[in-house]
Structure 1
Amino acid sequence: MSISWAMMLQERDPTRAERELLDTIERGGRTPAGRTAVQLHLSQLLPSNRPGSRLKIASRLFAPLEISHNLQVFLLSNGDIFVLGRDMPENQVDNIVHRVRSLFDNDPLTFDDFDDGIDPFVTWYAYEVDFSELEMVVRNLLEAAEILRKQRLGTPAPPEPLSPSDLDQLRDKVLALNIRPMLRRQPCIRLRPRQSAEIMFEEITVGITEVRDSIAPGKDIFADRWLFQDFSRTLDAALLAVLPQAPVLARPAAISLNLNLESIDSREFRGLLNVLKPGQKVIAEVQVIDIFTNLAAYQSTRDLLRHNGHGILIDGLSPAMLGAMDMSLLDPDFVKILWAADLAAPQHPRKGEGLADLVSGLGAERVILSRCESEQAMSWGLANGMTAFQGRYMDAILGTVTMQQCPSSSQCILRDCIIRRTSVMGRRRSECPNMPWLDQVQVLSAPSRRRTQ
C-alpha cells in the first residue's frame, strides 16, 4: 500500500518543510564557500501530472547522494524539491535531475525548447553568488505556505492521528476482528495467442478502510508512517492467518499479496506456504516507495522468495517511472504500471518512442497494466507490447465468461456474479447459487479488439 507520508505531514502543516529549508539555508549562508542549492520547480507541473506519490518518489531519487555526499533534500508543500550541499557532485545531481525530468516527461514543463535559454524545470544557486536571490525565493515560498496554513484553519478538524499509546489496543482489535468479509480478490489475466487468455494469479487484499472503520473510527491511522507500518504488520499477520482457510486458495496457480517486507520473513507467511499445493506460487507485491526506504531488505527478500520458488512484484509504477528507475538493480519478477486515461491522449513530439522499448527490454512477460477499467486501457497496453492486465474491465470479462458457462446463471445478474467472485470469504460469496463455479474459469476467450479508423 502506497502512502505519501511527507505529503500527508505537509497537509497538516504546510509550512513545516519551508521553515526547515529556510533555517538550513540561513545557517549555511554563514559559511557559503562551496555550497550549492538546486530547486526543481515541480509545482509548475500540470496538477494531473504531480500526484503526491510521484513527488515523493522524485525526492527519493536523491537518497543515494544524501548518504554518500551528505546532501539534504526538502520536498515542499507546493511540490517543489530543494537539494542542498557543500561541494555538491554536480554531474551526479544533474543525472538525477534528468531522471526526475523523465518521470514527468509528458508535461510541457519538461519540454526542451526554451526561447530564452532558461530551463523552467530546474534552477541552480551558488551561495557565494546567488545567496540573496535564494533566500528571497525561499522566504516567498514560506509566505505562500503560511497563507495556505491560515486558509486551512477554517476547515473541519482532521481525524485524530494515531498515537503510540493507541497501538497496542489497535493490535488487539485487529487480532480479534473478523476480517474474512473484508477480503477481496482480483485476477491478473494474460492474453495468449489465438484469442485466448488465462489467469496468471489472483491478488488478495484486505480493505484497509473497512478495517479502520471497524476498529478505529475517527482515527487517522496513516498519520505517522512508522506507526502505520507497525500496525500494518499486525494486519499482515491477521491476513496470513486467515488465508489458509479460504476455499479460493486451492484453485489458482498463483496468488499475490501486498505485504511489508518484514512480513515475508514471518511464522505466519511460512504457515501459508505450508498449505499451498505443490507448484503453487506466492507473489509478494511491494510498493516502489518502500523499496527506496530499504533497498537491501528488498533485494534479500526477492532472493529468498525466488529460492523457494515464489516471486516479487513492484507495484505503483507509471510509464515514466519505469524509464527512470534502474530495473537491472531491482530485477523484479513482475512490475505493475498504473493505467491513467491521459496515457492515451496525444503526446508531444518527444514522447511515444520509449515505452514499448522499455517493455520489450524488461520482458513483456514481466509487465502488467493495472487499473484497467475500459477497453481503451487494454488496447493501449497491447499497442505498447503488454499482454497482462488487471482491473475492473478484466473483472467484467471474467464475470461474463463465468456466467456464460455456469449452469446456474439464470438465477443471477452479471453485477452480482462479479461482486461474488471478488469475495474471498463471507456472506457475499455464500449467496452464489453455484459457489464452486466462481473459481471454475481459469482459461477464457480474450475479447476481440475493435478496429480503429
Structure 2
Amino acid sequence: MSQQPTMQEQALLNHIKRLERSGDEHLAVQVHLSKLIAFKTLPECVNVAITMMKRVAKVHDASLFQLANEDIFLVYHRGCVAQIDETLGRLSRVLKEDPFFSDGPAAEQEFCSHFDFAGGYEDLVGRAEALLEEKVKADSALRHNGGRRAEKRPLSLAGLAAVEKAITQADLSTMTSRQPVCEVDEDGRPLVLFHELFTSISALTDTLLPDENVFADRWLFQYLTAQLDQRMLAWLGKNDDATLRHTFSLNINIASLLSPRFLEFDGQLDQKRRNTIILELQIHDVFADVTRYLFAREFLLDRGYRICLDGVNELSLPFVHRSDLGAELVKLQWSPNLRRQIEGKQGAPIRAAIERITAPRIIFTRCESDDAIELGHELGVCLFQGFFLDHLLKEKITREEAAERLGAALSRHRQMTAPAAAAASS
C-alpha cells in the first residue's frame, strides 16, 4: 500500500499510531535519500531508488511514504524483514558510487534508520512527529515568502522562445563576468594567472522566467549555451577590452568550435593571440561524441589554442586521461565533502587519477573556503578558482589572514551568544 504524496508526514504519523496495538508485528525503516550528495541532484537516479522501494512495498503489502525532505519511510510486517533487508542492500549497492558512501560500512549504516515497534515504539513516534514538525515549518516559511515553491517546472516552449530571444538581444558587455584563476603558493598569497569569461544563462532565466528550470533537461540547456556561444564569439570578435589582450579562458560547446562563427572568429586572430586563449570544454560534451571531439581537438591544437577539460568531479576524475585527450588543464570541482572522500575508501582511485593527470595541471574550482587550498596543496594542486579566491584578491590578504579574520569573527560571535544562552538556561 502506498500513500499519496500530499502531507506524507501526517499520514505516516497516523499510520504508526493505528498500528500501536499490533505493533509487535511491525518494523519500519527510514531511507535517507536526502543524505546523498551527487545522485541527489539527478532526478532520474532518485526515481530509480524510489521505484525499487515501491516494488518491494507492493509485493509485501508494506506502507511507503515519500517525505518532503526526499527520504522514504517504509512500515512493514516482521515476516518480510529478509526481503526488505535484501532490497535495502541492493539499493546501497546501486548508490555506492555516491560520495556519501565514501566512509564505507559506517555510511551504509547511517543511510538507513531502523525502528522496531516492539521496544522502540516511542522512538518511532518521536521521529514521525519531528518529521511532521519539520514539514509544517517548511510550509509556513513557504507561505511567509509569498507561497512560491522552491521547485521550478521544466522550461516550456514559450519560455524557450523567450530565452532565445533574450540571448539574441542581450548586451554581453553588461552580462559577461570575469573570474580569476589563481596560483597559490605556500605563502598563501594568490597570483592571478588568467581570467575565465562567462555569461550566466541561469542569471538570465532567473530574471525572465523565475518559475522555470532551465537545467531540467541537460541537452536543452546545452542547446541554449550553444546559442549563447554564437553571441559570445561575435562579441569577442568586435571587443577591444584590455582583458582580452592577455590570457583568458572561454567555456564553449564542441559544436560551437566547428561552426562558421568560430571559424570567422579564428580568422581574426594571429598565432600569438591564439596561444593565449584557453578553451574550456565540458567533460560530458567530450564523452557525448568522442569522434567529434577528436576532430575538434586536432583542429584547435593545430591552430595554437589550449584545451581545458571542465565539469570534472570526484566521480568522473578516475575516467579522465588528460594526455590521451590532448588537454593542457583539468578543472576539478572542489566540495566540502572532497576531503572525506579522499581519506575514505575512494581515496586511492582519486589520488591515482590526480597523479596520472599531474597535479600542477589541475585547477580546483568552486573553492569556497580555505580547506580547498589546504587540500589542494596536500595533493600537489596549486591552481584555484572560486569565491574564496575572489575574496582574497578583493581584500588583498593571504589565506592565513583570511583564516585569522574568520577565527576572530567566530570568537566574537561565541562571546556574544554565551551570555544569552546562559540567561536562557537559568
TMscore range, shorter length: 0.5 to 0.7
How far does residue 361 in structure 1 lie from its aligned partner after superposition? 1.8
Residue 210 of structure 1 corresponds to: 203
Taking a change above 3 Å as real, the CA distance of residues 366 and 102 of structure 1, as seen in their structure-2 partners, is farther
Residue 259 of structure 1 corresponds to: 252
Is residue 190 of structure 1 aligned with residue 183 of structure 2?
Answer: yes
Checking the alignment, whether the CA contact within 8 Å between 1:187 and 1:201 is kept in structure 2 is yes
Residue 229 of structure 2 corresponds to: 236
SS for the counterpart of 1:189 is: strand
Match of 1:395 among 386, 390, 394: 390
Residue 90 of structure 1 corresponds to: none
SS for the counterpart of 2:327 is: coil
Taking a change above 3 Å as real, the CA distance of residues 311 and 107 of structure 1, as seen in their structure-2 partners, is same
Paired residue type of 1:317: V
Paired residue type of 1:295: V
Match of 1:366 among 361, 370, 383: 361
Match of 1:249 among 234, 243, 252: 243
Is residue 181 of structure 1 aligned with residue 166 of structure 2?
Answer: no
Residue 87 of structure 1 corresponds to: none
Distance 2:336 2:379 in 1: 15
Residue 64 of structure 1 corresponds to: none
Checking the alignment, whether the CA contact within 8 Å between 2:39 and 2:98 is kept in structure 1 is no
Q: Deviations over 1:358-388 (max 9, x none)?
A: 3222112321101112222101111111011
Residue 312 of structure 2 corresponds to: 317
SS for the counterpart of 2:47 is: coil
Match of 1:77 among 47, 68, 81: 47
How far does residue 352 in structure 1 lie from its aligned partner after superposition? 4.1
Match of 1:376 among 351, 371, 377: 371
How far does residue 321 in structure 1 lie from its aligned partner after superposition? 2.6
Distance 1:256 1:299 in 2: 20
Checking the alignment, whether the CA contact within 8 Å between 1:183 and 1:204 is kept in structure 2 is yes
Paired residue type of 2:364: L
Normalized per residue, the structure richer in helix is: 2
Distance 2:243 2:256 in 1: 19
Distance 1:209 1:113 in 2: 34
SS for the counterpart of 2:367 is: coil
Checking the alignment, whether the CA contact within 8 Å between 1:191 and 1:446 is kept in structure 2 is no
Taking a change above 3 Å as real, the CA distance of residues 380 and 114 of structure 1, as seen in their structure-2 partners, is closer
Residue 386 of structure 1 corresponds to: 381
Residue 291 of structure 1 corresponds to: 286
Checking the alignment, whether the CA contact within 8 Å between 2:283 and 2:309 is kept in structure 1 is yes
Mark the runs of 5 or more structure 1 residues left unpaired by the alignment: 1-13, 15-42, 57-73, 83-96, 121-154, 402-413, 415-444
Distance 1:259 1:268 in 2: 12
Paired residue type of 2:382: T
How far does residue 236 in structure 1 lie from its aligned partner after superposition? 1.3
Q: Which runs of 4+ in 1 moved over 6 A?
A: 43-46, 97-100, 112-115, 155-158, 193-196, 445-451
Distance 1:351 1:161 in 2: 34
Taking a change above 3 Å as real, the CA distance of residues 273 and 397 of structure 1, as seen in their structure-2 partners, is farther
Checking the alignment, whether the CA contact within 8 Å between 1:312 and 1:332 is kept in structure 2 is yes
Paired residues in the alignment total 301
Distance 2:223 2:382 in 1: 36
Distance 2:181 2:380 in 1: 16
| TM-score with structure 1 setting the length | 0.54
Distance 1:450 1:354 in 2: 31
Distance 1:360 1:156 in 2: 47
Checking the alignment, whether the CA contact within 8 Å between 2:365 and 2:386 is kept in structure 1 is yes
SS for the counterpart of 2:388 is: helix
Q: Deviations over 1:323-356 (max 9, x none)?
A: 2455565443221111111223487653544544
SS for the counterpart of 2:182 is: strand
Match of 1:49 among 37, 57, 60: 37
Is residue 308 of structure 1 aligned with residue 315 of structure 2?
Answer: no
SS for the counterpart of 1:341 is: coil
Distance 2:319 2:100 in 1: 10
Alignment of 1:72-111 (within 5 A): 75=45, 77-79=47-49, 101=96, 104=99, 106-108=101-103, 110-111=104-105
**Identity percentage of aligned residues:** 25
Of structures 1 and 2, the larger Rg is shown by 2
How far does residue 205 in structure 1 lie from its aligned partner after superposition? 0.9
SS for the counterpart of 1:180 is: helix
How far does residue 393 in structure 1 lie from its aligned partner after superposition? 1.6
